[in-house]
Amino acid sequence: MDIYTVLLVDDEEEVIQVIMKKINWEGLGFSVIGYANNGVKALEMVEEFQPDVVMTDIKMPYMDGMELSNRIKTDFPATKILLFTGYDEFEYAKEAVHLEIEEYILKPVNSIELTNVFTQLKIKLDQEISEKRNVATLEKHYMESLPLLQADFYSALIEGRLSRKEAGKYLSDYRISFEGPWHCCLVVHTSSTQVPENMHPRLLATSVQKQAQEKLGERWRTKSFSYLGNTVMLCQLENENEISELTDECDRFCRYANRIIGAVVTIGIGQVCADILELAQSYRGAREAVSYRVIYGASRAINIREIAPQELRQPERDNEGELSNLFKMIRLGTEEEVRAEADKYLSRMSFPEKSLQQHNIEVMELVGALYRFAGNNHIGEELFSKDTREIYTRLLDMEPEELRRWLTNISLYFRENLITARSRSTQSFVSKAEEYVKNHYGEEGLSLDSICQVLGVSNSYFSTIFKKETGKSFTGYLTDYRMEQAARLLIGTDEKSYIIGKSVGYTDPNYFSYVFKRKFGVSPSKYRTEYGESKE
């Protein structure tokens, strides 16, 4: 039996305690994950825990229940909302209907009525999840693939097999619309090893494809099709800057898929392009972004330009095909995997079975491939500072074992350079964010959204690297910094508390006092009295 999570929200804690004690939550199939005493705190908890149900009062400080409900429905539309209040106002009820609220309950809360509400809600939630998990439904979805001709066209497009004239003809013949003006490729990878019990991996992937089309299709005007075991989605954007919004929406979908149908989904996001013929390059970037799940984790969206801007390279030449696995290990593998792949590549060269001329050609190709890899990734330039012909001549004189050591060492050197470059890139983002907070903490509108807009990255990626580097969420860091500045002003100046609150970004003096007390355990006025006197 599925257990659904519930978040309770009311500024009167005694009301929450009564509700928690009156209801047999476990017997109804629910679990209370916590409670909040205002809408701001509740929204933070919704973002962190993504509960199935939020039961909230309407009249609350800082953010009332209607605004909270609106924010939840915008960002987490699958969440069910119950409103309860002591104010029987029809206008509230009408707005609740507009927001698709599940139930409107009047205080004082009746345990029998509340039990009936959650009993019916459990039935509804079970039905919704059953539809998503039902094997027969998944079989039907699996058979409902895109028309064959369109799928063939999309495959040819991302493989780069179409000329401009051919693309235009097929778009017309197959009635495919690509208005753009900007385009981007997504690769939706569903894990075939982490699958819910009694679920076939292929059926699970088909369900994910259908859910992705439902969640992302309309907003991004996507074209979806299956390709090499993944779902590929070709998106259309109004402008280049929408890529951050797309990344965040994909990230929310990955968590949604894991919570609702138990799928471990990673979405790779390629480069934005203005020409549909460039979608082949965007596809390569998206496919490579998915590979980075070994570094950044699965069940999330990964934008190739955010996580590896310095590693975006030109398409590999045909004669570098055999080196692609080695280059992949250099980017993503362990030291042992790099050594093993270098050995494997040299064993394929099969020195005893080839002529000296063939060997010389392969060594030349190897040097050229490594040179291009270093140049495209801005690493190891000093290794090729000598004349390429001199390097080539030296390698031709090497015994197989010596050549193996040389290739292994240079591959490990490249790997360390890429690791350092990634670390430097993330630290740069964090430093810029900290500097921006230092200069703008007094602005009320400063938030996770605004800092990401300034830096030009998605919320999901920035939140991940900021917490990894600082140990705090950005919101937590901003709040702590503002409180530290407020504490300094309380002790060092005679300004009134509400003036100080406004100077650190809080226009509501009551909310400033609430946040300050949550941080320091005392009100601003008491803090000034205690620490101001001790300083004297």
Of 279-283, 324-328, 527-531, the range with the highest mean pLDDT is 279-283
Judged against a pLDDT cut of 70, whether residue 387 lies above it is answered with no
Domain check: are 339 and 296 in the same one?
Answer: no
Q: What is the mean pLDDT of the chain?
A: 85
With beta carbons less than 8 A apart as the criterion, state whether 127 and 33 touch: no
427 is a domain residue: no
State residue 85's pLDDT score.
75
State residue 384's pLDDT score.
58
Residues spanned by the domain of 372: 318-414
Top-confidence residue, 378 or 75: 75
Query: What's this model's pTM, rounded to 2 decimal places?
Result: 0.57
Domain check: are 245 and 330 in the same one?
Answer: no
CATH number, residue 527: 1.10.10.60
Domain check: are 267 and 223 in the same one?
Answer: yes
State residue 311's pLDDT score.
45
Q: Which amino acid, residue 301? A: A
State residue 534's pLDDT score.
47
Band the pLDDT of 437: cuts 50, 70, 90: very high
Q: What's the mean pLDDT in 239-259? A: 94
141 is a domain residue: no
Domain check: are 238 and 324 in the same one?
Answer: no
Task: Quote the tokens at residue 232.
Answer: 């590929």
Which DSSP string do the residues of 248-262 spell out, in sequence order?
Answer: HHHHHHHHHHHHHH-
Can you tell me the distance from the alpha carbon of 213 to that of 13, in angstroms, rounded to the nearest whole number?
A: 42
Domain check: are 152 and 118 in the same one?
Answer: no
Domain check: are 152 and 283 in the same one?
Answer: yes
CA triplet 232, 235, 237: central angle to 5 degrees? 165
Can you tell me the distance from the alpha carbon of 462 to that of 456, in angstroms, rounded to the nearest whole number?
A: 10
324 is a domain residue: yes
Top-confidence residue, 392 or 159: 159
**179-192 pLDDT, tens per residue?**
889 999 999 999 99
Q: Domain total for the chain?
A: 4
State residue 167's pLDDT score.
92
Can you tell me the distance from the alpha carbon of 212 to that of 225, in angstroms, rounded to the nearest whole number?
A: 11
Structural domain ending residue among the three candidates 276, 307, 338: 307
Structural domain ending residue among the three candidates 279, 307, 335: 307
140 is a domain residue: no
DSSP state of 309: G
Task: Quote the tokens at residue 430.
Answer: 């964090």
Tell me which residue of 290, 288, 296 sits closest to 314, measured CA to CA: 288
CATH number, residue 40: 3.40.50.2300
pLDDT-above-70 percentage for the chain: 87
Instruction: Mean pLDDT check: name the lowest of 87-101, 201-215, 336-350.
Output: 87-101
433 is a domain residue: no
With beta carbons less than 8 A apart as the criterion, state whether 169 and 210 touch: no
The alpha-carbon radius of gyration of the chain (Å, integer) is 29
Domain check: are 375 and 513 in the same one?
Answer: no
Question: Which residues does 516 contact at the CB level (< 8 Å), separation at least 6?
Answer: 483, 486, 487, 501, 523, 524, 527
Can you tell me the distance from the alpha carbon of 29 to that of 84, in angstroms, rounded to the nearest whole number?
A: 21
Q: How many residues in total does the chain contain?
A: 536
**272-306 pLDDT, tens per residue?**
999 999 999 999 999 989 988 877 888 999 999 88
428 is a domain residue: no
State residue 385's pLDDT score.
55
Can you tell me the distance from the alpha carbon of 510 to that of 501, in angstroms, rounded to the nearest whole number?
A: 9
Instruction: Mean pLDDT check: name the lowest of 107-116, 158-167, 382-391.
Output: 382-391
Judged against a pLDDT cut of 60, whether residue 142 lies above it is answered with no
Band the pLDDT of 102: cuts 50, 70, 90: confident
Can you tell me the distance from the alpha carbon of 246 to that of 452, in angstroms, rounded to the nearest whole number?
A: 13
Looking at 274-355, list the stretches that DSSP marks H as alpha helix, in order from N- to C-terminal side: 279-291, 293-296, 304-307, 324-332, 335-349
CA distances from 111 to 20, 98, 114, 341 (A): 10, 27, 5, 65
Q: In what order do the strands lie in the sheet with 265-269?
A: 223-227, 230-237, 182-190, 265-269, 300-303
Structural domain ending residue among the three candidates 307, 342, 362: 307
CA distances from 510 to 12, 61, 74, 532 (A): 16, 9, 27, 22
**2-35 pLDDT, tens per residue?**
799 999 999 888 888 988 888 899 999 999 999 9
Domain check: are 155 and 287 in the same one?
Answer: yes
Domain check: are 60 and 185 in the same one?
Answer: no
Instruction: Mean pLDDT check: name the lowest of 178-192, 295-309, 349-363, 484-498.
Output: 349-363
Domain check: are 20 and 51 in the same one?
Answer: yes
Domain check: are 185 and 295 in the same one?
Answer: yes
Judged against a pLDDT cut of 50, whether residue 448 lies above it is answered with yes
Judged against a pLDDT cut of 90, whether residue 314 lies above it is answered with no
Q: What b/e readout covers 474-484, taking b as 16+ CB neighbours within 10 angstroms?
A: beebbbebbbe
Domain check: are 129 and 58 in the same one?
Answer: yes
Can you tell me the distance from the alpha carbon of 31 to that of 454, in angstroms, rounded to the nearest whole number?
A: 39
CA atoms within 13 A on the CB side of 313: 20
CA triplet 168, 286, 375: central angle to 5 degrees? 100
436 is a domain residue: no
Q: What's the mean pLDDT in 375-387? A: 66
CATH number, residue 298: 3.30.70.270
Instruction: Mean pLDDT check: name the lowest of 105-109, 227-231, 466-470.
Output: 105-109
527 is a domain residue: yes
With beta carbons less than 8 A apart as the criterion, state whether 465 and 426 touch: yes
